[in-house]
Structure 1
Amino acid sequence: MPVSPKIYHGNSTPSPDAELAALIDAHPKPSSLSEYSYGTAGFRYEASLLPCVFVRMGIFAALRSASLGGEEVGAMITASHNAEPDNGMKLADSHGGMLDAAWEEHAVSLANAPDSQHALALIHTLLSQHTSTGDGGNSSKKKLPKMVVHIGRDTRSHSLPLAALVIRASRAMGATVIDHGEVTTPQLHHFVMHANGHMLPSIIPQRCNESGYCEIMAMSYAALLRTGSVGGKGNVGKQRLHSTSTLVIDGACGIGALKINQFQHIFEKLRAEGCTVGLPTLHTVNFPGDGPLNDKCGAEYVQKQQLPPRLYTPSSKGAVSKRYMTSFDGDADRIVFHFEDEAGKFHLLDGDKIAVLVSSFIQDELRCIDPEGKAVKCGVVQTAYANGSSTLYLKNVVKTNVVIAKTGVKFVHAAAHHHFDVGVYFEANGHGTVLFGPKFYDFISAADAKLRGTSRHNRANIALRRLRVLPALVNQSVGDAMSDMMLVDAILFLRGWDLSTWSKLYSDMPSKQAKVKVADRSIITTNENETAAVAPAALQIALQAAMDDMISQESSGNGPKPRCFVRPSGTEDAVRVYAEANTQKGADTLAYEAMMLIYKLCGGVGAPPQPLITNRL
C-alpha cells in the first residue's frame, strides 16, 4: 500500500556555509573521474562515483527552488534501465518536466567545482543572480526564499544512502524536503507537477501523493473503459477479447513491479462495487529480488534485443500467458508491448507502434466532434530512431503531422509542446506521453457547451467523455509506463483489438543498432535532428554512397527507403549507428559498412568492427 511521505524541515544555523562546506569536503570528487557530465536525463555513473555529485545536487535542487520563488522541485535517484551497479539522478523542474536547459549548465558547474571554496562561490553567485536575497547572495546574511525539494528513489541497494546525502544537503541549504521513499520516476515527476497546483488545468484534479496518483489514474482508466459499454459505432460492448483478459507485466525486477499491485487493489475495489467494464486481470512478474535489475528483462532489453524477457518470478505464482505482455524498465518510465503467436514467434510493439495507436485514437475521437479537424492541431514527434514504416503510416494513413526532433526525451518533449495542441511522442525505446495544450482544453469546454443535453449515446458525446479523461490518465510531466499501459489497454479494448491486430497495422523495416568506440567522439557532429553527419564531411558522403548502393540492391517501391545515420554518444567516447533496410541482412550490412567508415575516418580504437549477423526467434 502507498506510504505517506516523510517531511524534513530545513536546518536553521547561524552559519549555513560552514555546514555546506563540511558536507562538500566530506565527499570530494573522485580522482578517477575527470569530469561529471549531464546526459539527456541527468547524471548517471557507477554508484561509488556519485556521493560527491549527490551532495552538490541536494544543494542545487534547493537553489533551483529558491530561484523559482519557492516553487517545488524534485530529485529522483535512479539509473533507469542501467544495470544494478549504476545509479544517477534525474532533476524535475517545478512544472514536473525535466530541468531547464540553462540550469543544466549550472548543475554541471557545481558538480565539477574542485573544492568547497569554489562550490560555495558558485552557490552565492547563483543566489545573487537568480534570487532576491541581497547582500551578494550570501545565505548567512539574509533569509532565503522558501525552498521545497521532493525526493524519490528506485530499488537499488545504494539508492537509500545516496538519497540520504541529498536530503542532508538540501536541508543544510534550509530547504524543506519531502521524501517519498521508493517510487517510480514518473510518480516523482507527478508529485512535483501537482505540488505546484497553479500549473494544472482545472480538468486535472490535484493529487500530490502516491495514493492520489494511483486513484486519479485508475479512476480515469476505468472511466475510459466504461465508454465502451455505450452503444454506437466503434464500441465493443462489455466483453473483452479472451486474449486480452489477462495482462502480464514484466517489472524488470524493479520498482514498477511493486507499484502496479496498488492498481490491482483499486481494481478489486471497483469490481466489488460492480464496476467491471473492461478491467483486465494484471499478472506481474519480475519483482525486485526475483532476479538482477534490468538483466535479460525489462523494456530496454526487450526493445534493443527484440527478444522476450526472462521470467524470474517463481512459477508457483501462476502460469504465465505470453499472448498479452508488456515490459517496464527499471524506474518504470518506459514501456513496450509484446506477444508470442500460436507458432511461438515473438512480436514486439515498441514506442513507434504505441505512437501510431495513441495518435490515431485521439484524432478519431476529435474528428467525431470536429469533422474538419481544424480546431486542434495534433501531431507526433519522433526521433531519427523511429522506424521508417511508422513515419509513413502516420503521414499517409493516420494523416497527422510528424516532426523529427533530436534524440532524447527532453528534446522530443519540448518539440511536442512547441508544435502541437495535442502532441504525442514516443521514442522507439518506449518512453513517451501525450501533451495537451491550452487550445485542447478550450476545445473541450466548447464541446461540452455544444453537446450539453444531447443523448449519452451520441457519438460526439462519447468522444467528449473519452477525451475529457485523457489528461488525467496520461502523465503530463514525463513518460510513465503505468499510465501508458492503461491508456494502450483501454484503446485496445475500445477498438476490440488484441496485440496481433495492432501489430498488423504496418510492418517494421528491419533495423540494426550498433556502436563504435573512438578516441574522441567530439570530432563527429550532426545536423539538428541527427539524421545526417556534418563533420567529418567525408563520413556523410561515404554513408550516402552506402545507402544509395543498398537502395539499388533492394527495390522498395513506394515504401520507406534504406537509411543509416550515426551520432556521437552522449555518455561515452563512442559513435552510435542505426540502419534500416528492406531485409535484416541488408540492415546488418549497412550498419557494418557505417561502423567501418567510422572506424577508419573518426579514429576508431581497438580491433576493427566485425560483420554483423542478427539472429531472431
Structure 2
Amino acid sequence: MPPSSLRVVYAFAREMHPKTSDVFIQYGTAGFRTKANLLEHVVYRMGLLAVIRSRVKNGRTIGMMITASHNLEPDNGVKLVDPDGEMLEQSWEEIATRLANVSDNDLESTTEQIIKQVNADMSLKASVFIGMDTRYTSPRLAAAASNGVIALKGTPREFGIVTTPILHYCVKCRNDNTYGIPTEEGYYEKIVGAFKTIRQKLPVFGEYNTTLYVDGANGVGGKKLNIIRKSLDGELDLQLFNLGGNGGKLNLNCGADFVKVSQKQPVGVEHVPYQRVASLDGDGDRLVYYYLDDKENMHLLDGDRIATLLASYIAELLKGAEAGDLNMGLVQTAYANGASTRYITEELKVPVTCVKTGVKHLHHAALSYDIGVYFEANGHGTVIYSDKAKKTIAKIAHDGEPEQRKSAQLLLNLIDMTNETVGDAISDLFLVETVLCARGLHARQWRAAYADLPCRQLKVTVQDRNAIATTDAERRCTAPEGLQAAVDALAGKYASGRAFVRPSGTEDIVRVYAEADSQLAADKLAAEVAQAVYELAGGVGERPQLPA
C-alpha cells in the first residue's frame, strides 16, 4: 500500500476520531479498558490494527469486541480476537499500545512503520467482525472501530449487541467452517442444541431440579438467555432477573464479579432458601453459582467449583469410554482456593498447572493437555479438546462396545456444548446443569465435595501499579523491595495463611488476596497485607483499615 493511500488514516482521525487526551493507555489482560470518554481514538486505531492483523494472517477474519466486561457502566474497552477465537497474540500487545498512544500527526507514519514491521501484504482482502456490549457508549465506539477498518480498505461486519463469547465463537467459525456457523443463530443451534440432545438422554433424578434462577447483571448475557429460554422445551426452567429494566445499572451490586468479590447476594434477585442461582457478568464471559440457606447465609460456587465439577464428570466419562490414553489437566491461577487445588490433585488425581492471571495464560497452558480444563476463580473458563481427543472419542462412539459408546457419545455432546474459544457464561451454565442433572445433585451436594478455606480480596490504590513486580505465576513479589518479606511474615502468623499481591491487568489498582483457617483471620490478613502495600508501594487516598 503506497504511503499516499495512508492519508485517509490521518483524515479519519483528525475529522472524526481525534486524540483529545494525553492519558497513556496500555493493552492489558483484556485489551484496552478505561473511562469510555478516553477511548474513541483508541478504538478507531484498533480498527486499523485489526486490518493489518487480518492481512498478516492471509486475510483471515479478526474480531473486535467493544466491552469492559465486569466493570461498571462508565467504563468501556476494546480487545482484538485472533483467527482461532483466541486472545490477540501477546507479541502484538506492545504494537497495539504504541499505535494507541501516538499523536494524530504521527499516526500515518506509525501505521506505515507497523505495516513494514509485521510485513503485512496490504493488497490482500481483510475481514473484521465487530461486536459490542449493552453500554450506552458502545454504539459510538463500534462506529469508530468500523471507520478504522474502512480507512485501511478492510471489510467490517457489525454483529450489534452480542456476548463476548459469541463474537469469539463467530470469528472461530468464520475461519474454520468445521467448528460451526458464524452467526448468533449458529451459536444457539450448536450450544443449545447439544444441551437439549444430552438432556433427553439424562433422566431427572435425585435432588436435582430443573428450575434455575439467573442474575443477568443487567447486561447482554441475560438478554441472550431470554431468547434461548423459549427454545429449551422444558429441559431447564430459567427464572431470569436483572435483565436491564427497572433502572438496573450494568454490574452495579449484581453480576458474577460482585458476587465473587463481595461474597454478597446481588440486588434484584428474588431468593428462595437453597434455590441455586447462576450469576453472569456484564458481557457474558464469567459465571458463578450460589445459594442462600434458611438463615440467608450465602454459599458461593465459584470458578474453582465449576472446574472441579466439570473435570470430575469428564474423567468419569473418559473412564467409561476406556479412553485411558487421553491425558486431562486442570489450569488455575493464584486466586484458586487452596482447598480446591488439594481436592483436584489428591481426590480427583488430576494434574494442576498454575499460571499468571489472565485468560490468555490459562488458555495457552490448557493446550498442553489432550483435554485442558481451565477456570479462574472469578468464573471465567472453559474446556479445550485437542484434535487427538476429538478423533479418539468419536472413534469409540462409533466402534466401541455398547457402554463405551454411551460414555463417548455423551462426551461428544459435551464437546459440542462447549465454547472452546474463551470462557462463556452461557455455555458453562449448560455444562454445569448437565453434570448436576447427570449426577442428581443439589447445589448443597455439589458444594460438599470439599470445604473452601475462607478468603478475602481487597484493592489498594497506589501512585503506580507497575511498581509491583511479580514472579512464580504472580504468587511472589520481586518489587518493591521488602514487600514479599512482609507478606510472608504476615501470612506466617495465621493457620493455613496464604497471601499475594499483584497489579491489576484491568484497573489502575493493586489487588490483594488472602486465605486463612477462619473468615476473621482471612479478613485480618488481607487488611494487614493491604497496609503493607500502601506503605511500601506508594499508596494514595485512604489507608486500608483493619477489621474490628
How many Å separate the matches in 2 of 1:209 and 1:145?
24
Question: Match of 1:284?
Answer: 240
How many Å separate the matches in 2 of 1:463 and 1:338?
29
Corresponding letter in the other structure for 1:128:
K
Question: Match of 1:30?
Answer: 20
2:472 to 506, 528, 538: 528
Question: Match of 2:230?
Answer: 265
2:284 to 332, 344, 348: 332
Q: How does 1:466-505 map to 2 (within 5 A)?
A: 466-505=410-449
The answer as to whether partners of 2:7 and 2:108 remain within 8 angstroms in 1 is: no
Q: How does 1:554-569 map to 2 (within 5 A)?
A: 561-569=496-504
The answer as to whether partners of 1:519 and 1:573 remain within 8 angstroms in 2 is: no
How many Å separate the matches in 2 of 1:548 and 1:82?
34
Q: How does 1:540-555 map to 2 (within 5 A)?
A: 540-551=484-495
Question: Match of 1:604?
Answer: 539
Question: Match of 2:109?
Answer: 121
Cα shift readout 1:553-601 (whole Å, capped 9, x = no counterpart): xxxxxxxx32111112335553221100000111112112212222222
Corresponding letter in the other structure for 1:227:
K
The answer as to whether partners of 1:214 and 1:262 remain within 8 angstroms in 2 is: no
Structure 2 residue matching 1:297: 3-state secondary structure: coil
Q: How does 1:151-550 map to 2 (within 5 A)?
A: 151-197=130-176, 200=178, 204=179, 206-228=180-202, 238-240=203-205, 244-268=209-233, 279-290=235-246, 291-311=248-268, 323-370=275-322, 373=324, 375-417=325-367, 419-451=368-400, 454-455=401-402, 458=403, 460-550=404-494
Query: Post-superposition shift, 1:443?
Result: 1.8
Structure 2 residue matching 1:75: 3-state secondary structure: strand
Structure 1 residue matching 2:200: 3-state secondary structure: helix
The answer as to whether partners of 2:41 and 2:144 remain within 8 angstroms in 1 is: no
Corresponding letter in the other structure for 2:24:
E
Cα shift readout 1:162-194 (whole Å, capped 9, x = no counterpart): 111111221121111111111110000000000
Cα shift readout 1:297-332 (whole Å, capped 9, x = no counterpart): 1111111111111117xx8xxx97860210110000
Question: Match of 2:523?
Answer: 588
The answer as to whether partners of 2:30 and 2:505 remain within 8 angstroms in 1 is: no
Calculate percent identity across the aligned residue pairs.
Answer: 41
Corresponding letter in the other structure for 2:385:
F
**More deviation in 394-403 or 595-604?**
595-604
Cα shift readout 1:506-562 (whole Å, capped 9, x = no counterpart): 1111111112222233332111301111223422222212222213xxxxxxxxx32
Query: Post-superposition shift, 1:461?
Result: 1.9
Structure 2 residue matching 1:258: 3-state secondary structure: helix
Structure 2 residue matching 1:192: 3-state secondary structure: helix
Cα shift readout 1:446-477 (whole Å, capped 9, x = no counterpart): 423541xx43xx2x222101111222211011
Question: Match of 2:36?
Answer: 47
How many Å separate the matches in 2 of 1:265 and 1:16?
50
CA RMSD of aligned residues (A): 2.1
Cα shift readout 1:320-361 (whole Å, capped 9, x = no counterpart): 786021011000000011112234322110001001100111
How many Å separate the matches in 2 of 1:132 and 1:40?
25
The answer as to whether partners of 1:47 and 1:88 remain within 8 angstroms in 2 is: yes
Instruction: Return closer, same or farther for 1:320/1:507 CA change in 2, 3 Å cut-off.
Output: closer
How many Å separate the matches in 1 of 2:209 and 2:5?
57
Structure 2 residue matching 1:227: 3-state secondary structure: coil
1:82 to 71, 77, 94: 71
Query: Post-superposition shift, 1:428?
Result: 0.8
Query: Post-superposition shift, 1:93?
Result: 0.6
Question: Match of 2:82?
Answer: 93
**More deviation in 567-576 or 407-416?**
567-576
Instruction: Return closer, same or farther for 1:330/1:13 CA change in 2, 3 Å cut-off.
Output: farther
Query: Post-superposition shift, 1:226?
Result: 2.6
TM-score, length-scaled by structure 2 = 0.95
Instruction: Return closer, same or farther for 1:239/1:521 CA change in 2, 3 Å cut-off.
Output: closer
Corresponding letter in the other structure for 1:403:
T
Cα shift readout 1:412-443 (whole Å, capped 9, x = no counterpart): 111111x3111111111100000111221232
Corresponding letter in the other structure for 1:543:
V
Question: Match of 1:234?
Answer: none
Instruction: Return closer, same or farther for 1:298/1:132 CA change in 2, 3 Å cut-off.
Output: closer
Q: Structure 1: where are the runs of 5+ without partners?
A: 1-11, 134-138, 229-237, 272-278, 552-560
Cα shift readout 1:371-426 (whole Å, capped 9, x = no counterpart): 7x3x1111111000001110010011111000100011111111111x31111111
Instruction: Return closer, same or farther for 1:540/1:131 CA change in 2, 3 Å cut-off.
Output: closer
How many Å separate the matches in 1 of 2:207 and 2:493?
47
**More deviation in 384-393 or 437-446?**
437-446
How many Å separate the matches in 2 of 1:158 and 1:608?
33
Instruction: Return closer, same or farther for 1:519/1:131 CA change in 2, 3 Å cut-off.
Output: closer
How many Å separate the matches in 1 of 2:220 and 2:542?
39
How many Å separate the matches in 1 of 2:518 and 2:447?
18
Instruction: Return closer, same or farther for 1:572/1:328 CA change in 2, 3 Å cut-off.
Output: closer
Query: Post-superposition shift, 1:90?
Result: 1.9
How many Å separate the matches in 2 of 1:547 and 1:345?
27
How many Å separate the matches in 1 of 2:171 and 2:508?
34
The answer as to whether partners of 1:69 and 1:131 remain within 8 angstroms in 2 is: no
The answer as to whether partners of 1:248 and 1:320 remain within 8 angstroms in 2 is: no
Instruction: Return closer, same or farther for 1:450/1:242 CA change in 2, 3 Å cut-off.
Output: closer
How many Å separate the matches in 1 of 2:42 and 2:343?
44
Query: Post-superposition shift, 1:13?
Result: 12
The answer as to whether partners of 2:217 and 2:242 remain within 8 angstroms in 1 is: yes
Query: Post-superposition shift, 1:266?
Result: 2.0
The answer as to whether partners of 1:243 and 1:324 remain within 8 angstroms in 2 is: no
Query: Post-superposition shift, 1:127?
Result: 2.4
Corresponding letter in the other structure for 2:225:
I
How many Å separate the matches in 2 of 1:218 and 1:448?
21
The answer as to whether partners of 1:16 and 1:172 remain within 8 angstroms in 2 is: no
Corresponding letter in the other structure for 1:281:
D
How many Å separate the matches in 2 of 1:573 and 1:330?
20
Corresponding letter in the other structure for 1:121:
S
Q: Structure 2: where are the runs of 5+ without partners?
A: none
